[in-house]
Amino acid sequence: MFFSLIESLRSALAAIFANRLRSFLTTLGIIIGVASVIAVVSVTGGMSAFIGDSFASLGADSLTIRSYTPFEDLMKGIRSRLTPNDLELIEKRGEGIASVTPVLEANRSSQIKYGPQTAYSLIMGTTYAYQDVAQSYTQIGRFLAQSDNLTRRRVVVIGEDVRENLNLPDNPINEYVELSGEWFKIVGLLEPMGDIMGQSRDNIVLIPYSTMVSILGNQSRIDIGIQLSLTPTASLENVVSQLTTILRSAHDLGSNEDDDFRIQTAEQLMEQFDQILGTLTMVIGGIVSISLLVGGIGIMNIMLVSVTERTREIGICKAIGAKSNHILMQFLIEATLLSLLGGLIGLLSGYGLGMLIANSIPDFPPASVPLWAALLALGFSGFVGILFGILPAAKAARLDPIDALRYE
């Protein structure tokens, strides 16, 4: 049996390499299908790993609370908000919280000026606790101090991208920039944080929270974000449940009303992103899998042609003692091997295509093919070869040796 298997494998390889061009064209559908799937998986796999590392840098013990308004309410002119009163309640009644800070984004202008240079940045008002909550520290100078917030001091801490966009010196401390028509003194330069989901975390300007409130004017209702970090012993689920109860009570929400806020963790954001990537991969994989079926049909057709071409050879083999199961094994191995070779070429081509795509996009993470994807692609290719090789192999095995020898 082992000798028959080895001989069938040798015969299959000889038949494939004797007709190289035809074999390549036969497996083209398999190659395209596997290459497409592997290219998609490699790109999304690299992106997923990169995003996972980025979210991990946000801190597993940090929470972000923002207001949430359904689209239907927005169309009615209704808008949910988080207010300083909500922040005060969380600071007083929240348990298991290490640090908490408000985040108030500018809604007038995102312009920051330095001499003739103008840049557009994310301008946020916050407090000294922001550096611990967001794990964002200065490389030069100092961070915002509590006294800056109490006295509404006009000072800023900027990101590395802001410094480059404004052509500020390498050490921008004590330089002055203009925000909303007022002059601010630079007191700190943040350490580079990199990008996350294509958005730079270094194109940021931080000013004291109370200073931002005064810049925005006497608005009756402002909408703030709240970021907080937990103590080492705190339970994330318990803190989220506690905060939900506090905010629902403060907003007078009934038991049948949905939350008008969202509490998110870095882990939840990563899970949402993974779900999106997983769904995208499945949809694209399902579409390109059609190529594998088309390739399988192509293999079946060529194998049927091969059976016809080798009818006399089959007759001679049977005449000298070859059994039907030997003929069946030979043609089935040939079809499977043909499909596996196409899958292997497609695997290498798909990985190369994924690397090419990743390298052609600036700051894009490198392509990565997980082992399960490679094994699944090769396994499915082999399954296609067996599935579509059974009919030609069975036809060859059923040939009558006398009729086969008479075949012209």
Comparing 391 with 103, the larger pLDDT belongs to 103
Contacts of 176 (CB under 8 A, 6+ apart): 114, 183, 184, 185, 186
Q: Which residue has the tokens 């907003």?
A: 251
How many CB atoms are located within 10 Å of the residue 135 CB? 14
How many CB atoms are located within 10 Å of the residue 37 CB? 26
**Using 50, 70 and 90 to split pLDDT, how confident is the model at 158?**
very high
How many angstroms separate the Cα of 23 from the Cα of each of 12, 295, 299, 338? 11, 12, 9, 7
pLDDT of residue 269: 67
pLDDT of residue 292: 73
pLDDT of residue 108: 55
If DSSP states are collapsed to H, E and C, what string results for the chain? CHHHHHHHHHHHHHHHHHCHHHHHHHCHHHHHHHHHHHHHHHHHHHHHHHHHHHHHCCCCCEEEEEECCCHHHHHCCCCCCCCHHHHHHHHHHCCCEEEEEEEEECCCCCEEEECCEEEECEEEEECCCHHHHCCCCEEEECCCCHHHHHCCCCEEEECHHHHHHCCCCCCCCCCEEEECCEEEEEEEEECCCCEECCEECCCEEEEEHHHHHHHHCCCCCCCCEEEEEECCCCCHHHHHHHHHHHHHHHCCCCCCCCCCEEEEEHHHHHHHHHHHHHHHHHHHHHHHHHHHHHHHHHHHHHHHHHHHHCHHHHHHHHHCCCCHHHHHHHHHHHHHHHHHHHHHHHHHHHHHHHHHHHHHCCCCCCCCCCHHHHHHHHHHHHHHHHHHHHHHHHHHHCCCHHHHHHCC
Per-range mean pLDDT, top range of 58-62, 144-148, 275-279, 340-344: 144-148
Given a contact cutoff of 8 angstroms between Cβ atoms, the answer to whether 90 and 227 are in contact is no
pLDDT digits (tens, 9 = 90+) for 55-87: 555 555 678 888 888 878 777 777 888 888 888
**pTM for this predicted structure:** 0.61
Which residues make beta-bridge pairs with 265? 63
pLDDT of residue 270: 67
Given a contact cutoff of 8 angstroms between Cβ atoms, the answer to whether 395 and 311 are in contact is no
pLDDT of residue 126: 93
Phi then psi for residue 116, to 5 deg, are -85, -10
Statement: residue 196 has pLDDT above 70: no
pLDDT digits (tens, 9 = 90+) for 113-125: 998 888 888 899 9
